[in-house]
Structure formats: structure tokens, C-alpha cells
Amino acid sequence: MSTIQMVFSTKTLQIYRSVDLFSKYDEKTLFTLRRDLKNQKKGILLCATCLQPLFIAGTLNQALYFRHMKDSDDCPIKTTSNLSKEEIEAMKFNGQKEGAQHKNNKLLLASILRKDPLFESVEVEKTFKDENSSGIAKHWRRPDISAKIKSSGMTMVFELQVSTTFLDVIIARDEFYKRNKASILWVFLEFNNDTFTQKDIFYSSGMNAFVFDSEAIEASNETGKLHFNCHYIEYVCEDIEGLNEARLEKVYRNKLIEIEELKFDSKSKKPYFFNVDSSKEIVTRQVKERTQLLKSQFKKEMEEAKRKYKSKKQNTVTPRPMKINSSIAPALYEQLKLNGKHNSLKCSNCGNTNDFRSVACFITCNECNSSVDW
């Protein structure tokens, strides 16, 4: 497969290597860029060869690469993907299998919603019209399930995601329901965040994924209230071992929740359980404050250690060695060393501590000629 190696940015007016862009940014940034590129009218990133808009696509192994938009003009560099006969047959089989799974879970979800006291007017595949100011419908959608929240009157639509959905479709549905002041909740039957479709929905839904798995189904049936297993990202502040600073760490969480625990974004109308962006802002400040505290504590500890060392050095009196001269018999001096007296002799009369002489086994002060006890 031929790949586009060089891209041109209309923002910076610079040319970049594709591999550098993919290695520079984290997954969230890349999937946000993928959505922006797909939804744009004018290119943000262009092919450096033909200057036509580009899109971020992926291989069957989930590797990212740039490709030209559909129906673009000819270019010396074109990206193509050729599936084998076996791969095509496998896709057909998975599509048939997921079709039954989609239908069964859609009906089950609708039956639970009808029991949930939070909702009313629950409909399956009811046409949802887009009306302009004159009331004439110009576009329409048929969501898997639609329902109204009794307390607010807001319409919620539920779209079950069990097979590969093109990004164009995801964007179109998101924009349609946002325009019509309805809230769309993408429902997963399983979630690993390891496919492009899951990531496209996850990162455009405030990094909250709602999974209608066996645990959620059991809790919903037992309580009569719709439950989801919510997968989300939480940022935490952690100290860096061996360094006097903290860092921002990303932790993946999941929690079984009731649908009434959801909140709604004021702009996108999309539901969320955990506000990831707000949490990140708060924890980012905590990291900065924690780093400042750790550095301040380390500075104080170093200053205290220096103070103690300096104080200890000033208060330490190094004993002056006893002056050795010909008046001290070597044998007697060795005996003084064995007894630990060689550095502690002191004349009680004049205070002399380092100048003595010996006569036989007696020691005399050379300063005042007084006898010294030892």
C-alpha cells in the first residue's frame, strides 16, 4: 500500500513528515484531528504533492495513515486498500452475526426504557425529522430508539454500535441531533477502545463510553431502571519517584451507573457521567501545586541539613595533641595512649594541656612545674 509521506499544513504553511505527526501527538489529539479533517470544508492538512485535502485512515491492524478524500482528483501518490476474498467473506459473516445481536439488544433496551420511570414516549426506529423555521422537514433520521425525559421534555436517542460505522455517519448523526436539540447516546455492547469506530465515538463523547453488557442488563432488569457500564478516563496526580516533582497520570476507569446519574453537555447535548476535561484541568493545577510544594520542601530540607552541618562543625572542638618532646619518656607516652590519656592531660594549676615532661613515672607541667595526675 502506497502511503503519503509528506503533508502540508495550511495553518503553519510548513511541510511535515507523516511519521513525525503520528509520533508527536497522543491518541486523543489524533482522533480529534481525524474528526476535524473529515468534517472540514477546506483542508487543514493537504497532500504535499497535489495539495488536495487529506484524511486520517487506518489499516486492518489499526495503524494510522494519511489518505486522499473520496473522489479526489488524480495524484501521483494514492492510498488504496485491497481486501482478499477471505477477508470479504469474514466481513459478511460478522455483519450477519451482528445484525441479529443489534436487533435483540435494541428490543431489550427499549423494553427496559419503557419500565424506567425517568422516560416516556419510548419508540423503536421512529422517524425523527429535521425541521427548518417554516416547519418543512428537510432531513430525517431513524434512530434505533428514541425516548423523552419526563422532567425536562428533552428527547434522547439511543444508537447501538455493534459493527463498523463510518466516521461520516457518526459525525452526521451527532450534528443532526445537536441541531435538533436532542441528545444522542451511543450504546456499545462491548468496549475495548481498540477499533477506530470505538475511538471515534469515545473521544467525541467526552471520553465516556456506555456499555450495555451482561452486568448492566442484569442490574436494569432487577431495578427497572436503565443501567450502563461507563468506561471513562480519570486523571490523577502522582509523585515521581526519585524526583521532587509530580506528574499527570491517565487512569482508565469503569463503573456501573444508572442512567439518571448522567449529565448533559450544554453545547453538544451529549450525555456524560464523568467530566474528563474538567477533571484534567483541576488535576493539572494540583500537579503544578504539588510540584511547587515538593521543590519547596526539598529546598527547606537542604537548608536545614546545611545549617545542622555548619552548627555541628562550629561546635566540634578538635583536641590538641599533646606535645611530644624529649622530656616525655616514650614508654610512658605509649602507656598514656593505651589508657586514653594522651590527649586529655591537663595541669590543674595553670590549665596547660599540651606541654609536659616525665620524671620516672611522674608527669610534670612544663609551664608551672606542677605535678600532673594521670
Sequence-distant (≥ 6) Cβ neighbours of residue 256 within 8 angstroms: 215, 216, 219, 227, 228, 229, 230
Same domain, 42 and 110: no
Same domain, 265 and 350: no
Same domain, 99 and 60: no
How many domains does the structure of the chain reveal?
3
Same domain, 98 and 54: no
The answer as to whether 51 is a domain residue is yes
Same domain, 15 and 125: no
| Overall residue count recorded for the chain in this entry | 374
The answer as to whether 322 is a domain residue is no
- Give the pLDDT confidence score for residue 122 in this predicted structure: 94
Same domain, 231 and 340: no
Same domain, 62 and 96: no
Same domain, 100 and 227: yes
Closest listed residue to residue 7, CA positions, set 66, 63, 69: 66
Closest listed residue to residue 209, CA positions, set 192, 234, 226: 192
Give me the residues paired with residue 233 across strands.
252
Closest listed residue to residue 129, CA positions, set 143, 119, 148: 143
Sequence-distant (≥ 6) Cβ neighbours of residue 142 within 8 angstroms: 125, 126, 127, 128
**Measured distance CA(58)–CA(49) in Å, rounded:** 21
- Give the pLDDT confidence score for residue 317 in this predicted structure: 57
338: domain range?
A: 330-372
- Give the pLDDT confidence score for residue 308 in this predicted structure: 84
Q: To 10 degrees, the CA torsion angle through 274, 275, 278, 280?
A: 50
- Give the pLDDT confidence score for residue 81 in this predicted structure: 38
The answer as to whether 325 is a domain residue is no
- Give the pLDDT confidence score for residue 6 in this predicted structure: 86
Closest listed residue to residue 220, CA positions, set 190, 189, 259: 259
**Measured distance CA(208)–CA(188) in Å, rounded:** 11
Same domain, 285 and 367: no
Residue 337 phi/psi, 5-degree rounding, is -65, -40
Task: Name the residue with cell 423503536.
Answer: 124
Give me the residues paired with residue 237 across strands.
248
The answer as to whether 113 is a domain residue is yes
Residue 271 phi/psi, 5-degree rounding, is -80, 155
Which residues of the chain carry a pLDDT beneath 70? 1-2, 41-43, 73-99, 131-139, 162-165, 316-326
Same domain, 208 and 349: no
Same domain, 157 and 229: yes
- Give the pLDDT confidence score for residue 233 in this predicted structure: 96
The answer as to whether 83 is a domain residue is no
Give the DSSP letter string of 47-64: ETTT--BEEEEE-TT--E
pTM of the complete model beyond 0.85: no
The answer as to whether 223 is a domain residue is yes
Do 160 and 105 touch, CB atoms closer than 8 A? Answer: yes
Question: What are the CB-based long-range contacts (under 8 Å, 24+) for 171-180?
Answer: 171/35, 171/38, 171/39, 173/141, 174/204, 174/268, 174/270, 176/130, 176/139, 176/141, 177/128, 177/141, 177/269, 178/268, 178/269, 178/270, 179/130, 180/128, 180/130, 180/131, 180/155
Same domain, 268 and 202: yes
The answer as to whether 78 is a domain residue is no
The answer as to whether 307 is a domain residue is no
Residue 302 phi/psi, 5-degree rounding, is -65, -40
Sequence-distant (≥ 6) Cβ neighbours of residue 155 within 8 angstroms: 128, 146, 147, 148, 149, 180, 181, 182, 183
Q: In the numeric block, which cell numbers belong to residue 348?
A: 590543674
- Give the pLDDT confidence score for residue 320 in this predicted structure: 55
